[in-house]
Structures are given as C-alpha cells and as structure tokens.
Amino acid sequence: MTPPSSQTRQLPDVAFEAAAEARTLEWVGMSHIALPLRVATPGGEPVQVAASVDVAVSLDDADARGIHMSRLYLRLQDAFASEAVTPAGLRRVLQSLVDSQEGLSSSARLVLRYDQMLLRPALASGNAGWKRYPVEIEALLEDGHLRLSLAFSVEYSSTCPASAALSRQLNAERFVADFADARPISTSVVGDWLASERGLAATPHAQRSRASVRLQLRPQFEELPLAAMIDALEQRLATPVQTAVKRQDEQAFAALNAANLMFCEDAARRVASVLAHDPHVERFEAEVAHFESLHPHDAVARVSGSGPR
C-alpha cells in the first residue's frame, strides 16, 4: 500500500491545542544553537565565526499551548548569513522573530556567544600573534525598544605592590651587607653586582589576571565597539598578556609590570576609568580577578557605574 504524498497528507499539529493551564510565558525558545556569525574585524572586513546562540520570544496569548519554534530556528539560519552583527541588524532580526509568531509574541531575545580573534603585536621584537577574547552579546526587543548588552574579558599580568616593597627591602639589605666595607664604590662595580645573582635577593609575586565586563550599550551607534574597547582596557591596564614573545619582548613586559604594580582594587579602578568615559556605554559592571600565586584563592574586586551623560 502506497502512503499518501506529503502534498495531500495533513500532519497533526498539537501546538494549536488550547493550553491545559492558561498562562502567559515570559520567554520560550531554544538555547545553544550552533550557528555561523559574521562579525566585524578592526579593519572593517567581516569574518565568519562559530557561535552559540540562544533565541526566545514571549508567549503573550495565555490560551496558546506553544509558539512556532521551528520558525525561530529557520529565521536565524538566514538572519546572519550575509551581514555582520550590528545594532541595526540585531533590531531587524528580533523584529523578524516577533513577526514570525503571527500575534503570539510581542518581545524577542537573542544571546550570541563567540570568540573574537585579534592579532596583537609584540612589545619590542616586531612579531605578532593571535589572542582570543570570549564575547557575549545580548539583544532584547520589548515594546519596540532595543536593549543591547556586551560582555567580554581581557587578561593581564598583575604584580603585587606589597610584595614589590618587601622585595626591594631585601634587595637593599643585601646591598648594604655586600658593600658595607667597600670604599669607594664605583658605578661599574655596583652595576656588575646588580646584574649578578647577588643583586636579586627577592622578586615580587605576579599572576595572570582577568577583567570581565558587562556593558549596557546605547543602541544608536552603527557598530559594536568591541575591538576599540578591548584596546582601551588593555592600554589602561598596561600589562596585557602577550602572544609571540622573544627575549626583548619579555624584558619589555617585565618593565611594564614594574611600572604598573597593581592590587585588584587598583585594577578595578583602572577598568572603571575607561568604561565611565566611553560614549557607547549606558551602564557598566566589571569584575577583576587576580589568580594569586601567593595564596590558593583569588583576589577579586567589583565595580559598576554609568557612562558619560
């Protein structure tokens, strides 16, 4: 017996049945959808990245059993295929998701997660290497109003000011002990001593650290200011972790650490000073974590505030 063709056969759709317990739902959708995105590079050319996407719409009809789930997925498949992610583009996608529900929904939400790759120059050697920055974009359309948030993190080195002071004291005490009877003391002798193992009685402890920020953005800008914000934060923290490193780069990195001794409180204030003056930022939250080499726990500071008015 030949089954009827799909053109004449009507498939059951229980989603159109009435809800057993009528209630509106804030969000219904899917999470962790694998999807390629096109994102802008610092040079302006879009590149394709692998992303994990959450999508949801409101279910405003209390009696409706469910939303048109497959329509959300199919709209997303087409949404980011040909253009880079921008505030205007996100608004269009969100409105399309609402429209796909044919009156069931009035709000839509997207969360995009991916890694931004940036080519970072070495400090002294002229080399360069790629660094990965995890990014999360949340876009929400409610009552025709777009809300955008951008979250990312940067890694840097933090050298403890207290440990540096204690190390300097030990270095000074050893110098006094080694040269107590030396008269006169020539600069060449002192220079040789400083360059020897005797010239380093102690070193301050340093550790890899991370600044994680979440920004509520003003949506009127044409582009997402991700690369510019990363650059500004790394410049203000002054000791971003490096990629390609030769000896001259490592020496330059050591000099930067000595010139930028930081408690976690200092780092949090540096981060806040950048975000509070960025015209793209409506409000910010930031957390810095210093993954201590002295302790088995982390030193953490949080700060929040508003951008320029």
SS3 13: coil
Name the pTM for this structure.
Answer: 0.88
Task: Kindly state the tokens that stand for 184.
Answer: 């006169």
- pLDDT in single tens digits along all 309 residues of the chain: 556 665 677 877 766 677 667 799 999 999 999 999 999 888 778 889 999 999 999 999 998 888 999 999 999 988 887 778 999 999 999 999 999 999 999 999 999 999 999 999 999 999 999 999 999 999 999 988 999 999 999 999 999 999 999 999 999 999 999 998 887 888 999 999 999 999 999 999 999 999 999 999 998 888 899 999 999 999 999 999 999 999 999 999 999 999 999 999 999 999 999 999 999 999 999 999 999 999 999 999 999 999 776
The answer for residues whose C-beta is within 8 angstroms of residue 277's C-beta and 6 or more apart is 307, 308
SS3 229: helix
Residue 22's Cα: distance from chain center in Å? 40
SS3 10: coil
Q: Which CATH superfamily is domain 26-160+205-306 in?
A: Urate Oxidase; (3.10.270.10)
- The radius of gyration of the chain from alpha carbons, rounded to an integer in Å, stands at 28
